[in-house]
Chains A and B, each alone.
Chain A
Amino acid sequence: MSVEVIFPVMSEKDPSGEGVVGTWFALDGERVVEGQLIAEVQVDKVSADVEAPASGVLRHRVAEEAVSNQGAVIAVIE
């Protein structure tokens, strides 16, 4: 069973607005542990940490520095 990694909602005014996956601290295909810091995302100039919601193998769905949306799936953990 895979668990989705969601771009956190950071903007009250525009909760599905665009943001950037700034940094993947955990690389594509890396084994991660639940609670581990795996990414930093940014909306406008505000950034937020993303922690692994489960343990398993991380599969990126959005590339580093690519645009995504708040609430969107940016990776899955298998």
Chain B
Amino acid sequence: MTTTGTSTRRLSTAKAISEGIAQEMRVDDGVFVMGEDVGAYGGIFGATGDLLGEFGPERIIDTPISETAFIGAGIGAATEGMRPVVELMFVDFFGVCMDQIYNHMAKIHYESGGAVKVPMVLMASAGGGYSDAAQHSQCLWGTFAHLPGLKVVVPSNPYDAKGLMISAIRDDNPVLYLFHKGIMGLVWMAKNPRSIGIVPEEAYTVPIGEAAVARAGTDVSIITLSLSVHHALDAAEQLAADGISAEVIDLRSLVPLDRQAVLESVGKTGRLLVVDEDYLSFGLTGEIAAIVAETDPTMLKAPVRRLAVPDTPIPYARPLETFVLPKTDKIVAEAKQLIA
């Protein structure tokens, strides 16, 4: 494909991820991709589109439906010095292969006394909002962030998606890379306008462990990630019309977590609303609240509010699913209650 030579080229998140992988594959023979339908199909959500044509079936490897086997194979390749990018089609499928993920991928470096590195990216789709029911709509990033030994990154837009993928591939640690289907810019899915954006053509990195201020504000901090960043930005616009200045923080990484960004924002606004599409209890929303509580609860002008999926499986029926997801109208209502 011809390059435009401009800095205004726009891509979908799916194409940005694929481009990031391709650019690393061109400069490092040890990078390869493995997973279900990553080849001719281009990844079920497009994250590996066009890669098979350029790199062939020896480096873009379609696997059988055997997650334990191909994640284990990826771990083996990584311990031998390669840099595999392995796709677990839906993060919901982790149950069948979790031993490979948390007892091997996440622990080999520790248990070898640092002698063996596992420079591997495990990528998976996450999230709901399109009636795919309880086994295909979960986020689950809190489950993985809870377990020591792996980094967890969760981009919200095309620019970060490419930069975080390149960072993840270059990282010597195992990195779980979770993309929400709603940020991919797929034509056949409800497409969020922010899932298409300007992406530089050259390779670049977005540092793992650094949050971003998606929108600056002074009255309330909305700390969130992934697709919920889009909902929070929409909410911030509605709140602005009512004279409320909301700051939106996109965490981008869960491990390492940018605690300083949380404290800086809440220190400025004095009000904290944490929004997460993962389950409410024992998860990200409680973790963020704890950062403030442990550091200086007097910075809060009002009690923390948490908006997340209320500890129920994600329903298939659209009205029920909409009821449990933390969408724009709920964020607006929660923020207004914080200010009141």
Contact = CB atoms under 8 A, between A and B. Distances in A.
Contacts of B155: none
B1 A47 contact: no
A22 B2 contact: no
Interface string B1-44: 11111001111100100000000000000000000000000000
Interface string A37-77: 10011100101000100000000000001000000000000
A32 B191 contact: no
Contacts of A33: 2-5
B185 interface: yes
Interface string A8-48: 00000000000010110111001011111100111001010
Contact of B185 (A23, A36, A37, A41): A23
Given A25-B11, A25-B196, A26-B10, A42 B188 contact: yes
B187 A47 contact: yes
Contact of A42 (B8, B15, B187, B196): B187
A51 B1 contact: yes
A51 B1 CA distance: 8
Which secondary structure dominates where chain B touches chain A?
A: loop
Interface in B247-296: none
Contacts of A42: 187-188
B16 to A, nearest CB: 11
Contact of B4 (A20, A22, A36, A65): A36
A22 B10 contact: no
Contact of A37 (B1, B5, B188): B1
A32 B3 CA distance: 10
Contacts of B2: 33-36, 51
B4 A32 contact: yes
Nearest to B188: A45
Contacts of B1: 35-37, 51
A47 B154 CA distance: 25
Interface of B: 1-5, 8-12, 15, 185-188, 191, 196
19 contacts: A22-B187, A22-B191, A23-B12, A23-B185, A23-B187, A23-B196, A25-B12, A26-B10, A33-B2, A33-B3, A33-B4, A33-B5, A35-B1, A35-B2, A37-B15, A42-B187, A47-B187, A47-B188, A51-B2
